[in-house]
Structure 1
Amino acid sequence: MQIDEKLLSKLEKLSALKIAEEKRIEVIQELSEIVNFVDKLNELDLSFSEITINTIKGGTPFRVDEARVSNVINQVLEHSPKYSEHFFIVPKIIE
């Protein structure tokens, strides 16, 4: 696929961008390089390769899911001016 002025104008409209006149040639060249690179990637024969999701053999190790008691709520509430049970008490602003 070759990027030309007509295609750039269409991409400009679709992306709601405005490319300055002095940058148009540079943008066309950069987009053409990207498209050429993707075309080269499409030429690769990957039929012999396995699909790789991650590089760790055997997948991601899971940690044991165990419940823990946390005191964070109480620590946060202790630093607030006023609280009741597990809630902040704030001044009433709506009548």
Structure 2
Amino acid sequence: MQIDEKLLSKLEKLGTLKIAEEKRDEMIKELSEIVNFVDKLNELDLNSSQITVNTIEGGTPFREDKVNMSNIAHEILNHSPKSSEQFFIVPKIIE
């Protein structure tokens, strides 16, 4: 497939885009490179390849659930301007 000015105008209309005049030649070149790359991918013979669902044989290993006693909430509240117990104190915005 050849990308030309006519096709670029059609793509602009379909995508509800407006490409600036100074960018049109660059856009045609980039789109042509993408189409050429996809054409090369279409040439690959994948009939002899085995389909891979995941990269780890036997499925995804499970990790052990552990309770992580983090004190992150306390650390965050220490950096806030105002807090009470485990809550932020913010200015009242509704009267």
Normalising by structure 1, we get a TM-score of: 0.70
2:13 paired residue number: 13
Backbone CA RMSD of aligned residues: 2.6
Residues 44 and 88 (structure 1), Cα distance of their counterparts in 2 relative to 1, 3 Å cut: same
> Counterpart amino acid of 2:9?
S
Give the deviation of 1:42 after TM superposition.
0.7
Gaps of 5+ in 2: none
Q: Which has the higher contact order (CA 8 A, sep 6+)?
A: 1
Normalising by structure 2, we get a TM-score of: 0.70
Aligned pairs (5 A) from 1:8-47:
8-47=8-47
Give the deviation of 1:74 after TM superposition.
1.8
Give the whole-Å Cα distance in 2 for the aligned partners of 1:4 and 1:42: 22
Is 1:77 the equivalent of 2:92?
A: no
Alpha-carbon deviations, 1:36-92, whole Å to 9, x = none?
A: 2211211111111123456x5435544322122221112222343432332112232
Residues 29 and 83 (structure 1), Cα distance of their counterparts in 2 relative to 1, 3 Å cut: closer
Give the whole-Å Cα distance in 2 for the aligned partners of 1:22 and 1:91: 51
Q: Number of residue pairs matched? A: 94
> Counterpart amino acid of 1:49?
S
